Structure 1
Amino acid sequence: MNEDLAEMPLQEDIAPEDESAPDAVPVPRALVPRLSETAILLDIDGTLLDIAPTPREVWVPPGLAKTLNRLHQRTDGALALVSGRSLNDIDLIFAPDQFPAVAGHGAETRLAAEREAAGARAPPLDKELKRRLAAIAKLSPGILLEDKGYSLALHYRLAPHAEQAIYQAVSVIRADLPNAPIEVLPGKSVCEIKHPGFTKASGVRELMAQGPFRGRRPFFIGDDVTDESVFAIMPDLHGLAFSVGRRATGVAGHFDAPSDVRQFLAHLLDDEKDIASP
């Protein structure tokens, strides 16, 4: 990345709602194929789960784990969580349940709940670089630091006034280290710095090339800027994408809130019952 991060748009200016995109589709019966032919791919924060003041405060609403487990069973294991969170973090949130996953923006993948994750696709960030990036958290109370090893995230939901200062500080560090192999991901009240070369989209492509996902038609639901790389590859995979909270470009429809997504997933199970009925 060669752009000056100090000139990067603020979050509210990134990926504005596309007014030409379709209206919300609560339960798109005509679009989603039967579960026996489908791969279900789901972002977590802001999609399955409501955004919380801090990453550690998210919680799994009653009934969601049961819905995910039933969908996992109905799709013969072709359900995966696709997140910027680490695999360990995902498992902590959904404990004791485990699901296939693309974690860490594609740095980790797990094809089946009972399997070990594939090795991380990136080395840890340089210690000196991490030290300098971590110091940015001292700019203001409320900036939370999350070290994922292969990436580092600065959350500012509790310090929204610090957004521009965070990006300016990152820009200064990148100017001092122009050859450092890093990529900056702006998200919802978070600035994440990672190695280049892997994304949620690259992780999804790998997932869809292997069983039990191979040969199925995927649909992906996501809400954030980092999910747009997956939106973009759905046509290549003969899949569908849905956005949450905004009408993104290239999606088949959108949901207003995570609660609508949870209801939609539960209805997929009801739809299967209707199809099976004589």
Structure 2
Amino acid sequence: MNEDLLEMPLEDEIVGEEEGAPETVPVPRSLVPHLSETAVLLDIDGTLLELMPTPREVWVPPGLSKTLNRLLARTNGALALVSGRSLNDIDLIFAPEQYPAVGGHGAEMRIDPDNESVDSHAPPMDRELKRRLAAIAKLSPGILLEDKGYSLALHYRLAPHAEKAIYAAVSLIRADLPNAPIEILPGKCVCEIKHSGFTKATGVRELMTREPFKGRRPLFIGDDVTDETVFGIMPDYDGLAFSVGRRAQGVQGHFDSPSDVREFLAHLLDDERDAALP
């Protein structure tokens, strides 16, 4: 990656409405095709679940697992969570339920929750590099370190004043390793470092070649910068993309909050039930 980290957008520049983004409207359910023809793809943090001060504080609201299970059945298995979190972390959040998922920003994928087989698309991050990056957490109390195996995240929601110092420190390390195959992902109060060569979009592209997702029209909902790679490929599948909390480029509509997303998903099931009534 040749781009200077110091020139990358910081958190306060990426979470609001994008300059020049088209005016979008609240999502009409009529846009969504029949669930038997749809692949439902959902980000987790900030999309299905509210963001919390620390990654471990997120929780699954009552009724969400029931909605996801019903969607999984109605789509004949073509529902997947698409997250920067590892598959193990996803399973811990939704325990005891397990879902098809793309984890680690596309680094790993599981199609069948009943099958322990996991497709891995990236090696674990170099241990010495991870050690150097982890030391950045000592810059200020409140910086939280999250080791995802394929990536490392520095959360500063509890230390917003440390944002520029974090990116400056990462930039210095990156300058020492100009040929290292790593990529920096700025997000909502988080700076994440991962292997280059895979993204949520590459994971979704692979997912869409597999049954039962193959040949369906994808519906993807996401909220953060890392989800924009998936927004960008939705036209290749005649897919639908919706953003949460901000009006992003290339989406058909937006939701104000994760609670709106959960309500929308529940209503998709209600709409199909009503359509089936005589």
Q: TM-score, structure 1 length as denominator?
A: 0.97
Identity of aligned residues (%): 77
Name 1:136's counterpart in structure 2.
136
Aligned counterparts, 1:79-98, within 5 A: 79-98=79-98
1:24 aligns with 2:28: no
Alpha-carbon deviation of 1:122? 1.2
Q: Distance in 1 between matches of 2:17 and 2:117?
A: 35
Name 1:241's counterpart in structure 2.
241
Instruction: State the AA in 1 paired with 2:89.
Output: D
1:217 aligns with 2:220: no
Q: Distance in 2 between matches of 1:101 and 1:235?
A: 21
**Higher deviation after alignment, 2-11 or 104-113:** 2-11
Alpha-carbon deviation of 1:10? 1.4
Alpha-carbon deviation of 1:11? 1.4
1:184 aligns with 2:184: yes
Q: Distance in 1 between matches of 2:16 and 2:233?
A: 20
Alpha-carbon deviation of 1:12? 1.8
Name 2:120's counterpart in structure 1.
120
Q: Distance in 2 between matches of 1:75 and 1:63?
A: 18
Instruction: State the AA in 1 paired with 2:70.
Output: R
Alpha-carbon deviation of 1:15? 6.8
Alpha-carbon deviation of 1:179? 1.3
**Higher deviation after alignment, 258-267 or 106-115:** 106-115
Unpaired runs of at least 5, structure 1: none
1:152–1:193 CA contact under 8 A, matched in 2: yes
Name 2:208's counterpart in structure 1.
208
RMSD (Å) for aligned C-alpha atoms: 1.2
Q: Distance in 2 between matches of 1:85 and 1:219?
A: 20
Q: Distance in 2 between matches of 1:50 and 1:268?
A: 21
1:61 aligns with 2:61: yes
Cα deviation code 1:19-54 (max 9, x no counterpart) = 65243324x232100111100000000000000010
How many residues of Structure 1 are paired with residues of Structure 2 in the alignment?
277
Q: Distance in 2 between matches of 1:117 and 1:152?
A: 24
Name 2:275's counterpart in structure 1.
275
Name 2:198's counterpart in structure 1.
198
1:7 aligns with 2:10: no
Secondary structure at 2:227's aligned position in 1? Answer: helix
Unpaired runs of at least 5, structure 2: none
